[in-house]
Amino acid sequence: MNVRAKFRCMSIQHIHTGSADCSVANVVLAPVWEQDGVNRKWSQATPQGKLEMTITNAEAIGAFELGSEYFLDISQASVEA
């Protein structure tokens, strides 16, 4: 089963590493409550939780905007022997 969830960017905290060429940020996403819509498929009531990531890639950090909403698509990773 795959799960699609809508999350909102709640914070972006840039971390100063002392190095001019190193971008680091903590990004926190929280689920969006919807009367109807995507999140009702995985959470029948008010969805709870958060995704917190420490990102060390400037381009990836730039993909997030405070207050914007994003879809998280979750599927099982296949394990190769």
Give me the pLDDT at residue 21, please.
Answer: 66
Give me the pLDDT at residue 36, please.
Answer: 76
Give me the pLDDT at residue 80, please.
Answer: 72
- Each domain of the chain, given as residue ranges in start order, spans 3-71
CA distance linking residue 7 with residue 67, whole number of Å: 10
Going residue by residue through the chain, which has 81 residues, state the pLDDT in tens, using 9 for 90 and above. 788 899 999 999 998 876 766 789 999 999 998 777 777 777 777 788 999 999 999 999 999 999 999 999 999 988 776
Backbone angles phi, psi at 62, to 5 degrees: -65, -15
Sheet of 51-55: strands edge to edge?
Answer: 51-55, 24-31, 3-15, 69-74
Tell me the whole-structure pTM to 2 decimals.
0.81
Question: Which segments of 1-81 does DSSP mark as H helices, in order?
Answer: 58-62
